[in-house]
Amino acid sequence: MKLIFCTILSFICFLTYGQVEISNSIILNSADSAKRQISNTSYPIDSADAINVNTVAYSYLRYYQASGTNNISITTNIALQEYGSGMTFLFKVTSSNTDSVMVNIDGLGAKRLLTIHNQRLKFGDLVAGNIHTIVYNGLYFVLLSDTDRGCLNGFVEVNETYCIEITDRPAVLFYDATKVCQDMNAKICTWGEWYYACQKSGLGLINMVNNYEFIDDAHDHGTFVGMVGGGGVCNLFTSLNAGTALRPYRCCYRK
């Protein structure tokens, strides 16, 4: 009777927990090769659990809904204990980033998220509703998804590397113009960018040679800043005091 009671109690415990800890090797030695397998394992809930085929097929341990905009938080299904090189995650964000991005998984600490070219993310690299793939390289996360988003609103593509604003912005001080462009993760156009766009036909640019515009150029130093576009031609260049001159400008954006 005592033996029967212990057997029943053991069976009840087995049904309750649904897991068996095995300290020795499992040997699959069936004569039928089709039967040499372990089946009916559930989805893992701990980092030491066995993984079934569905876990891999459906990326159960890799796909998550992320929270946050520039500070991304992800909670996995198994509560990771540490970051490891090669860890790969797929996640969806509910809002696009507006600045550089940090990623924190299971509260292990925020790590930088950079592009495959080791550059910080720009405005909109993480697109709301899109699925993005990142991998940890031992130091930081790398975004494997495509980050070529085209041009920002109000910009036109000049070539495969950059875009320029279609029309100039109202006159301000050079320092204020710089901040406006930087807030969009853009910058005041360099002499080369501005001149190349000015010479290129079919872009639909407005007011390129009606007034002098600020440019970001090697000439800019101390209290002087370069300007181009006056006199109805693309190559007319001059400079004025950056602290007092008010001029229109336009931003350029590297894709």
Mean pLDDT, rounded, for 88-97: 90
Is pLDDT at 2 greater than 80 in this prediction?
no
Residue labelled with tokens 């008010």? 246
pTM over 0.85: no
Q: For residues 140 and 111, is the Cβ–Cβ distance under 8 A?
A: yes
DSSP 3-state helix, strand, coil percentages of the chain (rounded to 5)? 20, 25, 55
β partners of residue 241: 224
Is pLDDT at 212 greater than 60 in this prediction?
yes
Is pLDDT at 19 greater than 60 in this prediction?
no
The region of weakest confidence among 44-53, 109-118, 210-219 is 44-53
Confidence label for 178 from pLDDT (cuts 50, 70 and 90): very high
pLDDT the model gives residue 9: 44
Sheet holding 213-214, edge to edge: 213-214, 224-228, 237-241
Confidence label for 12 from pLDDT (cuts 50, 70 and 90): very low
pLDDT the model gives residue 193: 95
Q: For residues 245 and 235, is the Cβ–Cβ distance under 8 A?
A: no
Is pLDDT at 110 greater than 90 in this prediction?
yes
Q: Rounded to the nearest 5 degrees, what angle is found at the Cα of 236, between the Cα atoms of 230 and 242?
A: 70
Confidence label for 42 from pLDDT (cuts 50, 70 and 90): low
Is pLDDT at 8 greater than 60 in this prediction?
no
pLDDT the model gives residue 218: 62
Could you give phi then psi for residue 247, rounded to 5 degrees?
-145, 155
DSSP E strand boundaries for 38-150: 63-65, 71-74, 88-92, 101-105, 110-114, 131-136, 141-143
Q: Which carries the bigger pLDDT value, residue 143 or residue 80?
A: 143
- Nearest CA to 51 out of 64, 63, 38 is that of 38
Confidence label for 101 from pLDDT (cuts 50, 70 and 90): very high
Mean pLDDT, rounded, for 13-29: 57
The region of weakest confidence among 27-36, 89-98, 164-173, 205-214 is 27-36
Is pLDDT at 238 greater than 70 in this prediction?
yes
The CA distance from 126 to 120, in Å, is: 12
| CB neighbourhood size of 227 (10 A) | 22
| CB neighbourhood size of 166 (10 A) | 17
Query: Mean of the per-residue pLDDT values for the chain?
Result: 81
Q: Which carries the bigger pLDDT value, residue 223 or residue 56?
A: 223
Secondary structure (3-state) at 163: strand
Q: Which carries the bigger pLDDT value, residue 26 or residue 190?
A: 190
Maximum average pLDDT range among 48-52, 128-132, 164-168: 164-168
